[in-house]
Amino acid sequence: MNTPTQYCTFHVAGLFLGIDVLSVQEVLRASPLSRVPLAPPTVEGLLNLRGQIVTTIDLRRRLGFAPRAADAEPMFMIVRTADGHVSLLVDSVGDVLELTDETLEHPPETLPPATRSLIRGVHKLPKQLLHLLDPEQATALAAHAA
């Protein structure tokens, strides 16, 4: 029997995504960001997290989606990567789901290439697909324009 994995779920431009809960440090409401001159478009700014400076990546831009509405209040998902902590700007945060590999499949061919390269796989759920975001890939290429 497969060992279940817990995923912290969230939404970006209508896409239902998840990250292994062990990679997530915390989730925060919108906070002030310091802009970074000449930063790539995917870098939204720097977040002061209790004295620690954390780069914030806009997942909408990183995944190639349109910008969020000016009045929409995003959430910050602080994740641990090999290079340290990174803040992912997401539209909303959902529940923690516990799933086994029995429902895991390869990313659909219908995803745009820029998005598909960041998705490790998908879990087929009764009413939707849970796309598993690879936090290392999503943040490692953040220095490049999306």
Residues 1-58: tens digit of each pLDDT: 578 999 999 999 999 999 999 999 999 997 889 999 988 889 999 999 999 999 999 9
Burial class (CB in 10 A: 0-12, 13-18, 19+), 3: exposed
Total length of the chain:
146
**Which range of residues forms the domain containing residue 85?**
5-140
**Structural domains counted in the chain:** 1
Express each pLDDT in 76-99 by its tens digit: 999 999 889 999 999 999 999 999
Considering the domain boundaries, does residue 63 fall inside one?
yes
Considering the domain boundaries, does residue 146 fall inside one?
no
Measured CA to CA, the distance from residue 130 to residue 97 in angstroms comes to: 10
Question: Do 113 and 65 contact (CB within 8 A), yes or no?
Answer: no
Report the mean per-residue pLDDT for the chain.
89
pLDDT of the residue at 83? 85
Considering the domain boundaries, does residue 60 fall inside one?
yes
In the chain, which residue ranges form alpha helices assigned H by DSSP? 59-62, 113-116, 135-140
Buried b (16+ CB within 10 A) or exposed e, 96-126: ebebeeeebeebeeebeeebeebbbebbeee
Considering the domain boundaries, does residue 16 fall inside one?
yes
- The full DSSP string for 108-135 is PTTS-HHHHTTEEEEEE-SSSEEEEE-H
Distances 61 to 2, 18, 43, 56 between C-alpha atoms, Å:
35, 17, 9, 12
Q: What is the CATH number of the domain that holds 59?
A: 2.40.50.180
pLDDT of the residue at 143? 42
Residues with Cβ within 8 Å of residue 36, at least 6 apart in sequence: 43, 45, 46
Considering the domain boundaries, does residue 42 fall inside one?
yes
Of 22, 131, 26, the C-alpha closest to 88 is: 26
Considering the domain boundaries, does residue 104 fall inside one?
yes
Considering the domain boundaries, does residue 53 fall inside one?
yes
Considering the domain boundaries, does residue 58 fall inside one?
yes
